[in-house]
Structure 1
Amino acid sequence: MSAKDFSVDITKPLVFQVGHLGEAYQEWVHQPIVSKEGPRFFENDFMELLTRTVWWVVPIVWLPVICWTLSVALRMGVSPPEAAVLLLIGLLIWTLLEYSLHRFFFHMYTKTYWTNTLHYMLHGCHHKHPMDALRLVFPPAATAILCIPFWGLIRLASTPATAPAIFAGGLLGYVMYDCTHYYLHHGSPSGQPAKHLKRYHLNHHFRVQSKGFGITSSLWDVVFGTLPPAPKTQKSS
């Protein structure tokens, strides 16, 4: 069967189906199914379990790591005011990383079997099933793997004493990102800036998916010119 003739059966595990869509994958994955019940990824129960993460696991796992790395910097002679500045630098670095990953990696164009499959597991599943509560945050194992190159880059660009504090700031930024992302989909904000962020993010999902890549902030969308256009308002007669 050719890719043009292939259709996904959403009642069956999806991961090893979506690759067969070929170039049609891009259109399929950006037609969301708005349901709180998430799809099944794998036939194997253990593999399926690894894809599901409740949101509160993220702060429980990573906040102690943040406190520990910050304490390492303090023990190595970084003063508390210096540590606060380095923490903010790490946060800023994370916001750029958040934007860059979302724009250039999570929204990469794919058409082959394995690139479609990889994209679906990383981010495509979120656009296809945006209300799947158990796949809105990264599993800790996946985050730990991504922390390795992040730590390596910070270590190369800073000193042994300052690197842990910058890393702590970047990791804090990640925790804020994942918790914010979950809240934007399942929370009901009553005030600003949360209401703006929710509208901004849902606009990315349901109106202009090629714009608005910031989650915790629209800062880098402004810098790099990827702000979504304002919705058109109908003129009253």
Structure 2
Amino acid sequence: MSEKRFTVDLNKPLAFQVGHLGETYQEWVHTPILTVESPRFFESDFMEMLTRTRWWMVPVVWLPVAIYFIGMSYTMGHTLPVVAILSVSGVFVWTFLEYCFHRFLFHIDTQSYWGNTFHYLIHGYHHKHPMDGLRLVIPPLEAAIVIAMLWYLCRVLFTVATGSALLGGGLAGYVIYDTTHYYLHHGQPTKQSLKSLKKYHMKHHFRIQNKGFGVTTKLWDSVFETLPKTKAADKSG
């Protein structure tokens, strides 16, 4: 007699249920539920609060920090042109990190209880509930942990003046990323460039979820050959 498959109860907190799905987790998490309702993750109200973030919190919290680090670079002796070049370089580096995080961390293939739980909490929930506006941008506490690690790396690799400009630019790139990501899900773009980006990202969610990892740019998908096929290519193949 075959073992009965575990079924997630959407009316109960989800975080510690999804691990029980085992090898069926990947199929479950990539079958989206298209409602704007925000499902409950935890029994604890405090833990639940930490998982919900309004989109405007990202620029409110992190743009001043980005400006502070960029200003620090200038006050420590770099000229304005050098600060500008380093800051733009930081934005560019962020686009690469954005791609790497999304491809290699957010889309890890898991089957174990804790692996499934970890994946669900960092990104799987977004594929299961892609229209949940309260869990679309990264919560400030989670972002602060990553930013602290990046600042430590900058201190190891560069002088404080150089590292602060790079980190400030990277933070600006992150703000652009998270606000763009929110807009692609909930906005109605009129410009062709944003329409194309929205279509590209929706294809990642609903058609080819192991391709199209870039959110703000398709550059790294092109470089690393993870561009999703077009319909024309699908037909010719």
- TM class, shorter-length: over 0.9
Contact 1:3 1:24 in 2 (8 A): no
Aligned to 2:120: 120
Q: Describe how 1:17-28 pairs up with structure 2 within 5 A.
A: 17-28=17-28
Aligned to 2:133: 133
Aligned residues: 234
Aligned to 2:78: 78
Aligned to 1:222: 222
Measured against aligned partners, the alpha-carbon deviations of 1:16-62 in whole angstroms (never above 9, x if no partner) come to: 10000001000000000000112111111111111100000110001
1:9 is aligned with what amino acid? D
2:135 is aligned with what amino acid? R
Query: Helix, strand or coil for the counterpart of 1:12?
Result: coil
Q: What CA distance in whole angstroms lies between the structure 1 residues aligned with 2:156 and 2:3?
A: 45
- Offset at 1:131? 0.1
Q: What CA distance in whole angstroms lies between the structure 2 residues aligned with 1:214 and 1:161?
A: 30
Moved beyond 6 Å, runs of 4+ = none
Aligned to 2:46: 46
Contact 1:208 1:228 in 2 (8 A): yes
Q: What CA distance in whole angstroms lies between the structure 2 residues aligned with 1:4 and 1:174?
A: 43
- Offset at 1:234? 11
- Offset at 1:5? 1.6
TM-score of the aligned structures, taking structure 1 as reference length = 0.95
Compared with structure 1, are the counterparts of its residues 169 and 144 closer, same or farther at alpha carbon in structure 2 (3 Å cutoff)? same
Q: Which runs of 5+ in 2 are unaligned?
A: none
Q: What CA distance in whole angstroms lies between the structure 2 residues aligned with 1:171 and 1:120?
A: 25
- Offset at 1:232? 4.3
Q: Which runs of 5+ in 1 are unaligned?
A: none
Q: What CA distance in whole angstroms lies between the structure 2 residues aligned with 1:157 and 1:169?
A: 16
1:170 maps onto 2:170 in alignment: yes
Q: What CA distance in whole angstroms lies between the structure 1 residues aligned with 2:208 and 2:11?
A: 28
Contact 1:13 1:41 in 2 (8 A): yes
2:98 is aligned with what amino acid? E
TM-score of the aligned structures, taking structure 2 as reference length = 0.95
Compared with structure 1, are the counterparts of its residues 157 and 19 closer, same or farther at alpha carbon in structure 2 (3 Å cutoff)? same
Measured against aligned partners, the alpha-carbon deviations of 1:190-211 in whole angstroms (never above 9, x if no partner) come to: 0121111100000000000000
Q: What CA distance in whole angstroms lies between the structure 1 residues aligned with 2:5 and 2:172?
A: 46
| Aligned CA-pair RMSD | 1.6
- Offset at 1:9? 0.6
Query: Helix, strand or coil for the counterpart of 1:16?
Result: coil
Contact 1:211 1:226 in 2 (8 A): yes
Aligned to 1:213: 213
